[in-house]
Amino acid sequence: MEPRAAGKRPAGDDVPRKAKRKTNKGLAQCLKEYKEAIHDMHLSNEEMIREFDEMARVEDEVKKTRQKLGGFMWMQKSLQDPFHPRGPRELRGGCRAPQRGFEDIPFV
């Protein structure tokens, strides 16, 4: 039974979705706890500034990673759906003049 069960899942899906969500929540929770704990630490002004700069850098990395993953999810959905809009013009309704189709040409 093991080979059949292993064949059902794709090779890249080693970590279950629930575990991935827990990891992301864990990172956010850890950052929140660190922000709260930093005020209780006895740091000099320079060390405090360095710590806040490091926190800001980590938050920026988290935001960039989320944006990147969101882009990958959009790409994945667009590749699966044959009728998915393919660009900004389709999303906004288009900015070009409407094209004339065969039904618009009068019969001669």
Residue 4 has pLDDT above 50, yes or no: no
How far is C-alpha 72 from the geometric centre of its chain's CA atoms? Answer: 7
Residue bearing tokens 């393919």:
86
Q: Which two tokens stand for residue 74?
A: 């959009």
In the chain, the percentage of residues whose pLDDT exceeds 90 is 0
**Position 61 in a domain:** yes
What pLDDT is recorded for position 23?
57
In a domain, 48, yes or no: yes
Residue type at position 80: Q
Stretch 60-66: mean pLDDT: 84
In a domain, 4, yes or no: no
Per-residue model confidence as pLDDT tens digits over 5-16: 444 544 444 555
H or E stretch at 1: none
Torsion sign over Cα 35, 39, 42, 45: positive
pLDDT at 59: 85
Could you tell me if 85 and 91 are in contact, meaning their C-beta atoms sit under 8 angstroms apart? yes
- pTM for this structure? 0.35
The pLDDT score that the predictor gives to residue 86 is 57
Task: Provide mean pLDDT across the span 71-89.
Answer: 62
Query: Is there a domain that residue 64 lies in?
Result: yes
Q: Is residue 9 part of a domain?
A: no
Residue 3 located in a structural domain: no
The whole domain housing 40 covers 17-81
- CA pair distance 45, 68, nearest whole angstrom: 35
Per-residue pLDDT, averaged over 59-77, amounts to 76
> Residue 55 falls within a domain, yes or no?
yes
In a domain, 2, yes or no: no
Please count the structural domains in the chain. 1
